[in-house]
Amino acid sequence: MNSKQYPSFRDAVADIPDGAIIAFGGFAMPGTPFNLIKALAEQGAKHLTCIANTTGGAQQPRMPDLGLLVEQGQVRKVICAFTAATRASDVLPFTKYYEAGEVEAELVPQGTLAERLRAAGAGIPAFYTPAAVGTELAHGRETRVMNGREYLLEYALPVDYAFLRARRADAFGNLQFHRSQRNFNPVMAMAARVAIVEVDEDILPVGAIDPDQVHTPGIFIHRLVRVPPPPGGIWPVVRQERRR
């Protein structure tokens, strides 16, 4: 069995073509693949469809995130739970490009986003959810009443690539996440044809992780890159709190 370890972030994203559909793990800083995103910004693939919780850039300090790819003109469309700031005083890097019509957006409730990714990975082409029923998001869409309650039909969201971040991996790709680093990462791995992981710690020999304690099985994972210590690698930092 070949190790799935790649020597660099550049190597791990080298083959990503224009037009690819990519899911990015992360909720705030934990679990966000900053290093892979930076490599993709350097690689330059265009017309991407990007799936993530937010369009990036809302938090300080600024990190390489989806907003960076948008600013570089690499993104055709985003699918996110946040496509605008929730406070009028905030301005996202994304907003300028969105309002100018240079990038499309699909706004999805966060739980629906997670479940659509999970469904893609689980071979479930569509499911019903109560989220967004009665809202603008449900306009013109198919709903169904079951047991007296109305539900919205939602479709699976398969992706070509998933960019993930984990605490620990063995060479087969079995993953462990630390605390809220987990977030979207496991379901994005399931939804992807090719899952690429940046890993906090040295890649372990196969079998070093207790089979009962694997968070994402290695069968879902294709490429691993060890994150170098700072300043070579990008790591989460304390968020700069703003008064609100």
Partner 1 sequence: MSDAVKGWNRQQMADQIAREFQDGWIVNLGVGMPTLCSNTDIGDRHIIYHSENGVIGYGPIAPAGQEDLNLVNAGGQNVTLNPGAAVVHHADSFAIIRGGRIDVTVLGAYEVAENGDFANWRLAGTKGGGIGGAMDLAACAKRVFVIMEHLTRDGRPRLVRRCVLPVTARGVVTLVATNYGLFEPAGEGFRLRELAAGIAVDEVRSGTSATLVI
Distance of CA 110 to the CA centre of its chain: 12
Q: How far is the CB of 244 from partner 1 (least distance, A)?
A: 6
Interface with partner 1 includes 233 (CB under 8 A)? no
Q: How far is the CB of 179 from a second copy (least distance, A)?
A: 7
Q: Which does 141 bind (CB under 5 to 8 A by kind): partner 1, a second copy, none?
A: none
Binding mask 193-222 for partner 1 (x = CB under 8 A): ------------xxx-x-xx-xx-xxxx--
Q: Which does 82 bind (CB under 5 to 8 A by kind): a second copy, partner 1, none?
A: partner 1
Residue type at 79 in one-letter notation: I
Footprint of a second copy on residues 172-201 (CB under 8 A)? 176-179, 182
Interface with partner 1 includes 143 (CB under 8 A)? no
Q: Which of 79, 112, 157, 226 binds partner 1 (CB under 8 A)?
A: 112
Q: How far is the CB of 215 from a second copy (least distance, A)?
A: 8
Interface with a second copy includes 208 (CB under 8 A)? no
Of the ranges 60-68, 83-91, 143-151, 192-200, which one interacts with a second copy (CB under 8 A)?
A: 143-151
Interface with partner 1 includes 130 (CB under 8 A)? yes
Pick from 171, 181, 179, 182: which is nearest to 216 by CA? 182
Token pair belonging to 186 = 């496991």
Of the ranges 41-49, 57-65, 139-147, 229-237, which one interacts with a second copy (CB under 8 A)?
A: 139-147
Nearer to partner 1, 60 or 72 (CB): 60
Query: 206 with 171: CB under 8 angstroms?
Result: yes
Token pair belonging to 63 = 């990190």
Identify the three-state secondary structure at position 166. Answer: strand
How far apart are the C-alpha atoms of 85 and 87, rounded to whole Å? 5
Footprint of a second copy on residues 151-170 (CB under 8 A)? 151, 155
How far apart are the C-alpha atoms of 173 and 165, rounded to whole Å? 12
Footprint of a second copy on residues 107-126 (CB under 8 A)? 115, 119, 122-126
Which are the contacts of 133, defined by CB distance < 8 A and separation ≥ 6? 143, 150, 151, 152
- Other beta carbons within 10 angstroms of residue 192's beta carbon come to 25
How far apart are the C-alpha atoms of 43 and 60, rounded to whole Å? 25
How far apart are the C-alpha atoms of 197 and 206, rounded to whole Å? 16
CA distance from start to end of the chain: 53
Which region, left, alpha or beta, applies to residue 7 given φ > 0 means left and ψ of -120 to 50 means alpha? alpha
Q: How far is the CB of 43 from partner 1 (least distance, A)?
A: 26
Interface with partner 1 includes 186 (CB under 8 A)? yes
Q: Which residues bind a second copy (CB under 8 A)?
A: 115, 119, 122-130, 144, 146-147, 149, 151, 155, 176-179, 182, 211-213, 215
